[in-house]
Amino acid sequence: MHDIRAIRENPDAFDAALAKRGLSGVSAQVLEIDEARRARIHAAETAQAEQNKASKEVGAAKASGDEAEFERLRALVGEKKAEVAAMQAEAKELDAKLNDLLMGIPNLPLDDVPLGDDEEDNVEIRRWGTPKTFDFAPKEHYELEGVKPGMDFETAAKLSGSRFVVLSGAVARVHRALAQFMIDTHVDENGLSETWTPVLVRDEMMQGTGQLPKFGEDSYQTTNGWWLVPTAEVTLTNIVNGVVVEESYLPRRYVAHTQCFRSEAGSAGRDTAGMLRQHQFEKVEMVSITHPDASLEELDRMTACAQGILEKLGLPYRTVVLCTGDMGFGARKTHDIEVWLPGQNMYREISSCSVCGDFQARRMNARFKPEGGGKPQHVHTLNGSGLAVGRALIAVLENGQQADGSVVLPEALHGYLGGKSVISAEGVLR
């Protein structure tokens, strides 16, 4: 959410930043409502002062026996009281309208974010590892002989419909091992605080991180009003919702492994084969709450944490800075990490690390007290996948595939698999 004072003070800069996202004339809409709201507030305050003055004079008129003046003043008090109520009601209505408008405006991109319309305009900033050369045509994960016994889309469709999967046996165990490996690495080596949070949240929590009101169709809501989280970003970030922390509390770095749920409303027809894009999936999510001066450095740190997981797994990847047209609603700058999938012969997103500045903090009213005194300031928030577990599974399976359909597993997972290192062509861990 944006600071209305900043828009008033420099509407041209606000519009110039939003123009990079393809939006124009937004400040005029905002300021028109804001000016009308402030006019009603001023009118209510003026009428209130006149009502108070008349109320004091009523008694004096009564005491002096001036009945005509008494009646005039009494009528004036009633008139001003009604005027105050009307102006306050209008101001409240305009305030709600302004809040709704501000809630629907995306974050302002940082100056160094590349301009562009879509993913074709993203800018690569890092590449690690060399994609393996196979002496056979590599297959996609769901086509591998050793994977087929443990990846059942037919049963999942019977249970739940499309975009679900039932994992079993060796594949299920590798999936679980990946999540444990990620959490352990982030806690033991990266200094993140392991957290376990609900997957059902209230409207206010989804509003706090920007999923509502604009993107409700992308998530699932229960019949009693809870929302299933699309990512643990929602719960981890909202830990500081409505809280004023001490500056010494910062930074806070959380990590959680949770189920996530997305309707994929905006991606109909995309990636329908395999388990690349599912309605229910698991993700290890990182969230940082920082001092405003430290958030850009924290973005680089968070990105390195996610990249480190792929390096330990020996999975080639590239990192890109998203352009203005491809960046998410709440982000000021985003690093996408794309892992190499030989079955598709391309890099695919496996992590997205974003700095949001004070955009989410304003929606949540999350602040800190400066150590040197002064008014509380809004914290900065960041979020990133560390990593998407299902996509990591896909990458491990495809990059480790052998000609006979077996899969050689990364050494980093052996300890989580009882020392076993291969999924055989029959789908057995060996």
Length of the chain: 430
Q: Are 423 and 407 in contact (CB under 8 A)?
A: yes
CB 59: neighbour CB atoms within 10 A?
11
- Set 352, 354, 406, 424: catalytic member: 352
- Set 163, 253, 262, 301: catalytic member: 262
Hey, what domains does the chain have and what are their CATH numbers? 4-103 (1.10.287.40), 119-423 (3.30.930.10)
- Set 38, 72, 176, 277: catalytic member: 277
- CA 60 from chain center: how many Å? 62
Beta strands in 71-214 (DSSP E): 123-128, 151-152, 166-167, 193-194, 200-201
What is the separation, in whole angstroms, between the first and last Cα of the chain?
Answer: 52
**277 is known as an active-site residue:** yes
Show binding-site residues for ATP: 262-264, 349-352
pTM: 0.93
- Set 27, 391, 398, 424: catalytic member: 391
pLDDT values of the chain reduced to their tens digit, one per residue, 430 residues: 999 999 999 999 999 999 999 999 999 999 999 999 999 999 999 999 999 888 888 878 777 877 788 878 888 888 999 999 999 999 999 999 999 999 999 999 999 999 999 999 999 999 999 999 999 999 999 999 999 999 999 999 999 999 999 999 999 999 999 999 999 999 999 999 999 999 999 999 999 999 999 999 999 999 999 999 999 999 999 999 999 999 999 999 999 999 999 998 766 677 788 999 999 999 999 999 999 999 999 999 999 999 999 999 999 999 999 999 999 999 999 999 999 999 999 999 999 999 999 999 999 999 999 999 999 999 999 999 999 999 999 999 999 999 999 999 999 999 999 999 999 999 999 9
CB 4: neighbour CB atoms within 10 A?
18
Show binding-site residues: 231-233, 262-264, 285, 349-352, 383, 385
**391 is known as an active-site residue:** yes
Show binding-site residues for L-serine: 231-233, 262, 285, 383, 385
- Among left, alpha and beta (phi > 0; psi -120 to 50; other), residue 108 is beta
**SS3 state of residue 415:** helix
For 175, counting Cβ atoms within 10 Å of its Cβ (0-12 exposed, 13-18 middle, 19+ buried), the class is buried
Q: Are 269 and 377 in contact (CB under 8 A)?
A: no
Sign of CA dihedral 241, 246, 247, 248: negative
- Set 57, 69, 83, 349: catalytic member: 349
